[in-house]
């Protein structure tokens, strides 16, 4: 379980950095860029949310690594953390349209 969470953490980190430093390039699939006023600000916001998800994921990965008996709880916490991050991303991204 620890390895899966570690891989997910690294992927969130890579995607967060890619989105954060995308500049004006249309990198997000679900965004209608014709309606976005400031692409760079949207990417900075989305990158920060994804990096926050990576930080929380790293903490839960550490918990699963140090305490094997908490691995299932860490996985459930990771799922809830991702859900909260995606809600924050969807709610906050409407400011840029």
Residue-wise pLDDT for 78-96, tens only, equals 999 999 999 998 888 888 8
Non-local CB neighbours of 61 within 8 Å, separated by 6+ positions: 2, 5, 6, 8, 9, 74
Domain range for residue 62?
2-96
Residue 93's pLDDT is: 84
Residue 2's pLDDT is: 81
Residue range 34-49: mean pLDDT, rounded = 92
Domain count, the chain: 1
3 state SS of 87: helix
Residue 1 has pLDDT above 80, yes or no: no
């Amino acid at each position: 379980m620890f390895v899966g969470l570690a891989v997910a953490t690294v992927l969130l980190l890579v995607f967060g950095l890619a989105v954060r430093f995308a500049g004006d390039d249309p990198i997000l699939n679900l965004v209608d860029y014709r309606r976005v006023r400031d692409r760079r600000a949207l990417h900075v916001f989305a990158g920060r949310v994804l990096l926050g998800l990576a930080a929380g994921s790293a903490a839960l990965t550490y918990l699963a690594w140090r305490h094997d008996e908490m691995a299932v709880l860490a996985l459930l916490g990771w799922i809830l953390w991702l859900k909260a991050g995606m809600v924050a991303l969807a709610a906050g991204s409407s400011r840029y349209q």
